[in-house]
Amino acid sequence: MKHHIVLKLTLLIIALQACTPKKPKMNCENAGPQTPRDIDSYSGTNKTLFAQALPISDMNLCNIHFHKNAEHKAKDFPIYAGDGDKGYNSGYQCTMSKHLSEAELAPTKEKICHSKLNSLLPGDTIEVHWVLSSCDVKPAPTLGACSSASCINPQLRVETQVFTLVNDTKALNFNQIQRASDLPQNTGTPVEFLGSTTGPSFSDTVCSPLQVTWSVRPKCAKLDINSVGKWCKDNIFDEGQAHGVRKLVIKPELLSKIKK
């Protein structure tokens, strides 16, 4: 009887640990396909296969967060931002960010999504991730919200849109894009591929073991920076600033092959 109780408690602890917002890591020699990538390059030789996640309509939104600069690269966001500290000035910028009007680039009245490491300015590029889970979960802080004690191995999908921030209230309002189904419809056919979770804690030697279906729109859209600032002050995900980016994965053995 005691053994049975101990076993139950052990399984419960394992399940709860799986739900914490920690980012598990693994040696890249044994890893499945990684992310981010150049979505205009379809090649990849990673042999790990897993089922593509269900469509948006059959999954539950569990988290929204964004990165300063695009983690992915595409024809519409090809400008390298450099090697920044902790990933905050790395990544890629939209071509349109270099062709904005003086009004769109006008300084904001207050600091936007400000932290000790960074803040957002008009003209900046951000990549937003709408994370969806096959588990019966509710939106909440961190990727730990995407699983539960009764669903510790969910299918994960990340719907992705890259934006250029402008000081223009007529541009898209971030607070009106709080569901994956609300994403802009004029930013191209999403490129879908198998990959992993992202962020600056991963590299070509330390990889993410999580399996994610990615859907990345290939064109940038303008987004009102003031609406992003308002969202940073009040959202159920406890997101108050931009995340850093993981450097682009270019090794073929760490990338899946994209179906044309």
The pLDDT score that the predictor gives to residue 23 is 57
The pLDDT score that the predictor gives to residue 116 is 79
The pLDDT score that the predictor gives to residue 26 is 81
The pLDDT score that the predictor gives to residue 115 is 86
Q: What is the pLDDT along the chain (260 residues), one digit of tens a residue?
A: 444 443 343 333 334 334 434 557 888 988 999 999 999 999 999 999 999 999 999 999 999 999 999 999 999 999 999 876 666 678 999 999 999 999 999 999 999 999 877 899 999 999 999 999 999 999 999 999 999 999 999 999 999 999 999 999 999 999 999 999 999 999 999 999 999 999 999 999 999 999 999 999 999 999 999 999 999 999 999 999 999 999 999 999 999 999 97
The pLDDT score that the predictor gives to residue 87 is 65
Kindly report the three-state secondary structure assignment for every residue of the chain. Answer: CHHHHHHHHHHHHHHHHHCCCCCCCEEHHHCCCCCCCECCCCCCCCCCCCCCCCCHHHCEEEEEEEEEEECCEECCECEECCCCHHHCCCCEECHHHHCCCCCCCCCCCCCECCCCCCCECCCCEEEEEEEEECCCCCCCCCHHHHCECCECCCCEEEEEEEEEEECCCCCECHHHCCCHHHCCCCCCCCEEEEECCCCCCCCCCEECCCCEEEEECCCCEEEEHHHHHHHHHCCCCCCCCCECCCCCCCCHHHCCCCCC
Question: What pTM was estimated for this model as a whole?
Answer: 0.89
The pLDDT score that the predictor gives to residue 9 is 36
